[in-house]
Amino acid sequence: MSALTVAPGASKDPASDGVFRPGRYAAIDIGTVTCRMLVADVDELGRLCELDREYAITNLGEGVDASGVLKPEAMRRVADAVAHYREVLVGFEQSERLVRVTAVATSAARDARNAHEFERLLAECGIKLAVIPGAREAALSFAGASCDFLGERLIVVDIGGGSTEVVAGCAGDDPVRARSFDIGCRRVTEKFLASDPPAERELELARRWVREGMRPFFEELRASRFFPDRLVAVAGTATTVVSVRERMRVYDTTRVHRALVTRSDLDAVDERLRGVTLSERERIVGLDPGRAPVIVAGMMILQTVLDLAGVDSFTVSESDILHGLVLDAARSGLG
């Protein structure tokens, strides 16, 4: 896999002085639902060339919203995935080029009282983990997602399992407003959607809760006279909309990245997903069966964001927090 991403703020002129440490980097993002890794080379201008992506649904956040703790079996699932990623990285290491690894955990680990146990478990796998705050997660997501839209005024939304980050700003500059909401597809599912398929009353209560939690941010954004050129959505909920719409039996990143999704497209996919039982949903072409339990809530959150932002479409990006982590590591390695 090879794709070129230019870092926000990085010069695209080969004659200009670089501000990045060239090298081979890996970023591991451990979310509430998924555990992912990106391996990439970064040059002195901050241009990123993807070498490999890895992905596993590990459901670290299973039950965390209610219990406040990470389950031992959930932590072990992530540790097993990370151990596999470590094996993958061996193939990308060369005597003159070692892979610099950054690993972060987000909402589920932030919420858990026993996150220190999780950090210790990953340390045994040779991975130093940082549990990052929501504001940091939002900034990294914006840095990654804005790479492809330099100069545009963006709203970037990253729907995770335990939290959703919404960031506004001009691509290439620092964000003007950012918020991490404790609203995610697994959290909403566990709080509200007990029936199979979800009952209309459950859906309405969930939708109201999501809207009320997010509405003040968008009111503040509108009052600041920030009007986006584009809404960019990253992560699994957004990419799933495209893969289901296109009925992809084999996921094709070239058809997903930068795909435009209209509100009518989104609503049509949502209607297919929420009106069937979990077992039926798991068999829908284009939907990873492991994401089936939480995808209805993810669709609802995405619909609510579009409503509150006052837009009728969004662009899907596969440049996300992983890209932000790699570029940040390349910057912080200077000096």
- pLDDT digits over 253-289, tens only? 899 999 999 999 999 999 999 999 999 999 999 999 9
Instruction: Of 9-18, 186-195, 274-283, give the lowest mean pLDDT range.
Output: 9-18
- Pairwise CA distance, residues 21 & 24, whole Å: 10
Across residues 115-134, what is the average pLDDT? 92
pLDDT at 246 over 70: yes
Q: What is the pLDDT of residue 2?
A: 42
Q: What is the pLDDT of residue 79?
A: 95
Q: What is the pLDDT of residue 15?
A: 29
Across residues 29-42, what is the average pLDDT? 93
The answer to whether 4-135 and 148-317 have equal CATH topology is: yes
Q: What is the pLDDT of residue 313?
A: 96
Q: What is the pLDDT of residue 17?
A: 39
DSSP assignment string, 251-298: --HHHHTT-EEEHHHHHHHHHHHHTS-HHHHTTSTTS-GGGTTTHHHH
Total Cβ atoms within 10 A of residue 152? 16
> What is the average pLDDT score of the chain?
89
Q: Which CATH number fits domain 148-317: 1.10.3720.10, 3.30.420.10, 3.30.420.150, 3.40.225.10?
A: 3.30.420.150
Q: What is the pLDDT of residue 46?
A: 85
Tell whether the torsion through CA atoms of 199, 201, 205 and 208 is positive or negative. Answer: positive
| Contact (CB, 8 A) for 165 and 119 | no
Q: What is the pLDDT of residue 56?
A: 93
**Where residue 13 falls among pLDDT bands split at 50, 70, 90?**
very low
Q: What is the pLDDT of residue 96?
A: 63
Q: What is the pLDDT of residue 1?
A: 40
Q: How far is CA 95 from the centre of its chain?
A: 32
- Pairwise CA distance, residues 161 & 33, whole Å: 5
- pLDDT digits over 74-115, tens only? 999 999 999 999 999 999 887 566 899 999 998 889 889 999
Cis peptide leading into residue 197 (ω within 30°): yes
Q: Which residues does 80 contact at the CB level (< 8 Å), separation at least 6?
A: none
List the chain domain ranges. 4-135, 148-317
Burial class (CB in 10 A: 0-12, 13-18, 19+), 19: middle
- pLDDT digits over 134-179, tens only? 889 888 988 888 888 988 999 999 998 888 999 999 988 888 999 9
Q: CATH homologous superfamily for 4-135?
A: ATPase, nucleotide binding domain (3.30.420.40)
- Pairwise CA distance, residues 130 & 137, whole Å: 11
